[in-house]
Amino acid sequence: MQQKTVKTNPSEKILITAFECLSTRGYANVSMRNIAEEAGVALSQLTYYYKNKEKLFIEVINMMTLQYLHEIEGNLESVTGEKEKLASLVRFFKELIRDKPKLLKLFIDFIAQALWIPSFREQLDSLFTELTEIIERNLLTYTKINKRYLGYSPQTVAKLVLGALLGTSIQIILGSDRDSAFESLNLAESLLN
């Protein structure tokens, strides 16, 4: 009996290959030619679908963003209570560091590139806005915020939560001692509770 093989269309194959290349070697170290060769397609086919490296990187980030925004929101919606939701969000960042470091590295690379490329900056700003809204919607209630955070808006607190977890995750992924570094995420969780 023959097994059916699932065929991916060339555009999808290029996107998946680009994700692997970019998350392994970084934006600056990957060319369109590298991606075409690894995807087994002609360079002209790659440029037909994605025009240039910037547009391809944006599509890779879009793919990554949709997947992980959905995962974060799903994790937060699967538990009840502010403390449990915060613990779930911290757990998500720990799993990202431990199980999907290439994804986090790609995200860090995207942040770095956004400093110089306006289209990346716009996309990153949109991503941060969406993440802030997810955190605000799932973690923060107005009455608790007023009491605990001295009148700061839930949006401001959500930005702080995102910044603390993302910044700490970046420090961990760049550091040499990841095991004890997770303590800083635990501390962020206790400080924010």
Q: For residue 41, what pLDDT is reported? A: 93
pLDDT over 70 (residue 31)? yes
Which of 188 and 165 is assigned the larger pLDDT?
165
Mean pLDDT over residues 144-168, rounded? Answer: 79
CA of 87: how far to CAs of 14, 79, 142, 156, in Å?
36, 10, 19, 19
Tell me which fold the domain 60-192 belongs to. Answer: Tetracycline Repressor; domain 2 (1.10.357)
Most confident of 36-40, 58-62, 167-171: 36-40
Mean pLDDT over residues 145-163, rounded? Answer: 78
Q: What would the two tokens of residue 35 be?
A: 């991606």
Secondary structure letter of residue 178 according to DSSP: H
Determine whether 193 is exposed, middle or buried from the number of CB atoms within 10 Å of its CB (0-12, 13-18, 19+).
exposed
Q: For residue 141, what pLDDT is reported? A: 63
Q: For residue 179, what pLDDT is reported? A: 63
Q: For residue 149, what pLDDT is reported? A: 66
Q: For residue 142, what pLDDT is reported? A: 47
- Whether 162 and 172 have beta carbons less than 8 Å apart is answered as no
> Does the domain at residues 1-51 carry the CATH identifier 2.60.40.1180?
no
- Which residue ranges does the chain devote to CATH 1.10.357.10? 60-192
